[in-house]
Structure 1
Amino acid sequence: MTKKSFLSAILLSLLLHCPVEGQQRPIMDELGRTVKAPVSPRRIVSLAPSITEILFALGFNEEIAGVTSFSDFPGAALSKPRIGSFVSPSMEMMVSLKPDLIVAIQDGNRWETIERLSHLGFPVYVIDPKGWKGTLKTIEQMGNAFGKREESKRILDDMMKKKDRIVSLTRSLPSPRVFYQMGLSPVVTAGPGTLADDLIRMAGGRNIAENEPTPYPAYNTETVMLKAPEVIVLTSMERERDHTHLVKMWRDWK
């Protein structure tokens, strides 16, 4: 083989093995589904605020083509096109964005939405984080699947350092009983196996729903008061609504 033909063979080999725009490969999502996704996604649609936050943390920005209504972190997410709520996103809006990758979440997005998008030919990668450890695994797998392995390692290292710091600061403190309200009507809380439950424990608290048989049990006010929480954390996706009355209600009950 001549020197020229040898160099040509090396160049051809490099071209065949280097990712190019539009190139796809099969990856497995967290449900065990094989998804034919781009090696380097260029137009990503996120179907949940948590997904949006992870994508930005992994270093995506210009590649994010659309997000759900309440995706407000980081600040750059506010300028992205809105596709509606993560429970009922607009199919027309998602299709119009021409995504080359859609990232969904098992615990939140409707399965019919995922199936319909898949049937339309869009690659839909589904995450399924369970608790703190599951969230770490999700970030690692997303980094591996989307070509952001080093970025995901950096995120995980930072999260573990912060967790260790918080645990060390609260280890010797009293453990208050905590009620985490994440639904208004009905009142829904976070039970065992959820990220909120793990975070409460890491912060030195005791979740009043830690022994419930389901991850997201519904409570009435009487049940909450019988469990005598010392700390109440209020969360809601209804950002425009004034929640002063909720604070007053719990204080009056106490």
Structure 2
Amino acid sequence: MILRDHGRKKEQVFLALACIVLLLAAAPCWGKVFRDALNRTVVLDSPPQRIVSLAPNITEILYYLGLGERVAGVTQYSYYPPEAMKKPKVGSYIRVNAEKIIELKPDLVLGTMDGNSSHTIDLLGQAGIPVYVVNPRSVRGTIATIACISDLAGVKERGDEAAVLLTERLEKIVRKTTGLDRPTVFLQINIKPIMTVNSHTIHNDVIRLAGGKNMTGNLPITYPRISREEVLAGKPDVIIISSMERGGRFERARQEWLRWPSIPAVKHRRVYLVDSDLIDRPSPRIIRGLEIMASFIHPEVNWSGGREVEKDGAAK
């Protein structure tokens, strides 16, 4: 009887130990080492639960991945999705308030190489806060950044799935425009003064993937000012106005171009407006912007549910 009881106790102890081993095996042995766009090593002991975003596009990516509850702070102009506007503000993405970030006690800060200062990144690092810097410079680079952020947050499967879906939409556009003539596109990104982009921009990548040719791609300055006379001389087939300014001024800029019928884009009524957030923010919405741009540049293609355009040429 004693031996039987002793045997049962041994069996119970063995089962308990086996359960512990199984639980430990099932638990994620996290602790990951990452390398960011600045070639810095970033170590995370566990999936971050309090993330501060230092750029609007990063905020969009976090919400797209279903991580809104983990967002502890955002920068100015992080207004998409609308829920992001309720989060504590830590300044603009160019002028970040490091003290405010430290007060929020984040376990990860996500910054961007194109905007956030190295001084801010160093200050946060000295405070013991992990800072990971991204640098998406293209549409495909944006998709890769989404996957990377998902890995940082411990939701890699979500990011991988999102990357597949977004890439499928991108490749559909590339397939449909391959072999077609490339219309010359003038992209206006500011109303006064008139400004545009060269080839070293994400805007240029959008134009290229959408099947167009950037009229100002060869200019030496990344975001050059350009005169109306230079646009007239360039004879663009398509004019697309993308500006952070909205309302009447946005439409008036389009009407201003309609006064020049010698421009092919005007002659053939191919002057359009597009929400700047859709083509200059390296976020998941840039794929929607690419779809809209492709339908502007190649209206002859059946996009089967592409952009909706009002009669005045504005993309909804």
Tell me the TM-score normalized by structure 2. Answer: 0.67
The answer for the alignment partner of 2:37 in structure 1 is: 30
Q: Does 1:126 align with 2:133?
A: yes
Question: Which of the residues 216, 222, 230 maps onto 1:209?
Answer: 216
The answer for the alignment partner of 1:152 in structure 2 is: 159
Cα gap change, 1:181 to 1:119, in 2 (>3 Å): farther
- Partners of 2:26 and 2:193 in 1: how far apart? 54
The answer for the alignment partner of 1:11 in structure 2 is: 20
Question: Which of the residues 196, 205, 220 maps onto 2:226?
Answer: 220
- Partners of 1:93 and 1:233 in 2: how far apart? 39
Unaligned stretches of 5+ residues in structure 1: none
* Greater C-alpha radius of gyration: 2
Q: How many residues align?
A: 250
Cα gap change, 1:8 to 1:160, in 2 (>3 Å): same
How is 1:134-213 mapped onto 2 (pairs within 5 angstroms)?
Answer: 134-171=141-178, 174-183=181-190, 187-213=194-220
Unaligned stretches of 5+ residues in structure 2: 1-9, 264-316
Question: Which of the residues 229, 232, 236 maps onto 2:236?
Answer: 229
- Aligned residue type for 2:131: V
Cα deviations across residues 12-70 of structure 1 (Å, max 9, x unaligned)? 685598459xx864322222211233522111111111111111122201001111221
- What fraction of aligned residue pairs are identical, expressed as a percent? 36
How is 1:103-118 mapped onto 2 (pairs within 5 angstroms)?
Answer: 103-118=110-125
Question: Which of the residues 76, 83, 87 maps onto 1:69?
Answer: 76
- Partners of 1:206 and 1:117 in 2: how far apart? 42
Compute the displacement of 1:118 (Å): 1.9
Q: Which has the higher strand share?
A: 1
How is 1:20-99 mapped onto 2 (pairs within 5 angstroms)?
Answer: 25-99=32-106
- Partners of 2:252 and 2:127 in 1: how far apart? 45
Cα deviations across residues 149-207 of structure 1 (Å, max 9, x unaligned)? 11111111111111122234444655322223335666543332432222212222111
- Partners of 1:100 and 1:137 in 2: how far apart? 22
RMSD over aligned CA atoms reads: 3.1
Compute the displacement of 1:241 (Å): 9.1
